[in-house]
Structure 1
């Protein structure tokens, strides 16, 4: 299977108004994994000034699904995922690194760790595990 490039993956995100609102950027995409970055800004915080859990969950969903699509092809959906928030997050950027745990023909189990980045230092703030499945849907962004 051919792995779409970062440009194709970014075009998929750019076609999703919510991902655009987050400012999500794909930095790497390969069979080894995916890296997605969201700049931290005040509009994405909760009442204590930390990154809102919904933002972290959305970032996890993006990374889990993209890495699942690398294994299964572009016609995929998230079937389920679980996220553990490990510590409050802030900083300059949130970075998600996703990888495959296991993949078959129709289902992949994927993992994602989310880091808060401040002055180049990363701190693990959340981890997620998801199930990505093939689905009778158009390929993401019309690619594939």
Structure 2
């Protein structure tokens, strides 16, 4: 799964917010985000867009872990429910629900360090065969 780790290392959006790929196995990933005040909204909670970013990537890398290095993938749809204010550091756990020939459905759950269930996302991704996940 080195191609997955290499892809995450090139993910500039994750670098920008300070997220890390904490865990990876076939069909599952975990992304950690340390708390930073510059990622919050006006009331001091982690911004919903940032929560969506880590959930999106957790689903994506869970899906990519089941694909060959000669392929890449893109998100084609997702729905996120923000369940509680996001306080402190976060973890997004992505898991593949169904991996098909072209489309994959994945789910991510986002938790705060205190155990609060912050968000749930369901996502559909499309595999791009023979399109390596490398810079153009």
TM-score, normalisation: structure 2: 0.88
Q: Residue 48 of structure 1 is aligned with which of 25, 30, 43?
A: 43
Which has the larger displacement, 76-85 or 132-141?
132-141
Which has the larger displacement, 54-63 or 65-74?
65-74
Name the SS for the 1:132 alignment partner: strand
User: How many positions carry a matched residue from both structures?
Assistant: 133
Name the SS for the 2:65 alignment partner: helix
> Post-superposition shift, 1:80?
0.8
Aligned counterpart, 1:16: 11
1:28–1:75: structure 2 CA closer, same or farther, 3 Å change rule? same
Asked if 2 retains the 8 angstrom alpha-carbon contact of 1:28 and 1:35, the reply is yes
Matched, 1:33 2:3: no
Residue correspondence of structure 1 range 31-110 to structure 2 within 5 A:
31-73=26-68, 74-91=71-88, 93-110=89-106
> Post-superposition shift, 1:9?
3.4
Instruction: Write the distance in 2 (CA, Å) between the matches of 1:10 and 1:33.
Output: 13
RMSD (Å), alpha carbons: 1.8
Aligned counterpart, 1:126: 119
> Post-superposition shift, 1:12?
2.0
Instruction: Write the distance in 1 (CA, Å) between the matches of 2:101 and 2:122.
Output: 19
Name the SS for the 1:140 alignment partner: coil
Asked if 1 retains the 8 angstrom alpha-carbon contact of 2:82 and 2:120, the reply is yes
Is there any run of 5+ residues in structure 2 with no aligned partner, and where? none
Instruction: Write the distance in 2 (CA, Å) between the matches of 1:106 and 1:27.
Output: 27
> Post-superposition shift, 1:10?
3.9
Is there any run of 5+ residues in structure 1 with no aligned partner, and where? none
